[in-house]
Structure 1
């Protein structure tokens, strides 16, 4: 009964969100779909599928609806996320969202996230906070972050993001993500980067990718990542080693 009630609530929220999105003009709609498969060296895996739909309802307000699923051996989790993106000016905006999750054991997860951003043509800076709570085990963790991106020339982008996680067991982990991207043309952009992390041991990852813009509205990006004790976040922050392959399809319509 608990699961059925939860599914009814999620269905109602989805229908209400898309009913509201129907008032958006055609140029304010966007869908971002991604699939990431991480194959770990211990023989396990993680498959993450995400579909995010954004509808600009007014110049200052955009609605976000996101559905995600995570699969690992013997476990799955669905998360439904809903929230607004609010533009305070041409350069300042915030993203707020709440996510309701259900896993293969029937346990519920609550997720809340807030991101504050400042953006110009050449620079971008942001600060965010994500909170995840598991009521069944009374476990939670906080994930604050700061990030920025700078374009010294239009074709080159330099990005950095620092994370720290603190959980209810007072376990602290740290991560940093650095990346550079370069546009060879208006249709092809390559990226390369790394992550550094610390949990029980030092970890890192190396990544490289390619983004192809078929039209100004449609693009596809592929990313290959090597993981070495890299901190990942699902039921709890944990270091993993393996190979990750990811695809992102971005469609504006």
Structure 2
């Protein structure tokens, strides 16, 4: 375990910046452009697909995706960006990979990306420590993307941090009765809807020509077979025959 031993200007936006940040991984990710992505632990299929595309698109532009390593949207954001282009902020000490369901993901980010914590190594998560984590997640990002959120949820507490810090807030357009928290933000004019994914990503420049396979990037978030086939056509069938993806329970999974 290490500490962040240089100034992180983004943290000055916090009401009480952490006196120390413990870390495992590549500290220099903190010096790159960053976008925070948060949302519900129970995303619908639409949210899963779009968040994966947003995170992957940001990573292709050299932007680091920041989230809180929780189930749902957080994990989708980390996976969509890829472990090497993501920062996970924990609500516990670094000796605990919590939640357990994401332990392997957190371990991968420790190796290839960056995991941060405000807390000493053996600290166990408490309800208030997740609030602290959420503020750090929001502070680090240039903007905040909210994938999906219910009213009065922890995600909406993160939105309050973003408002106080003067961050731009972007949300996915959802149907009536879904993601009422983000729909409220649109109604009150506090957030901007991402109607055009390409236009949103162009805010961060053009995708880098690094030879990444866009089909495999898309499949990182386990899209349905139907939506992947619609988007990639015969390329999906070729990838399946080559063993680069598997079809499991109607979802496409990269090998």
Please state which band the TM-score falls in when normalised by the shorter chain: under 0.3
Q: Which has the higher helix share?
A: 2
Scaled by the length of structure 1, what TM-score is found? 0.27
Scaled by the length of structure 2, what TM-score is found? 0.26
Structure with the greater relative contact order (CA < 8 A, sep ≥ 6): 1 or 2?
A: 2
Q: Which has the higher strand share?
A: 1
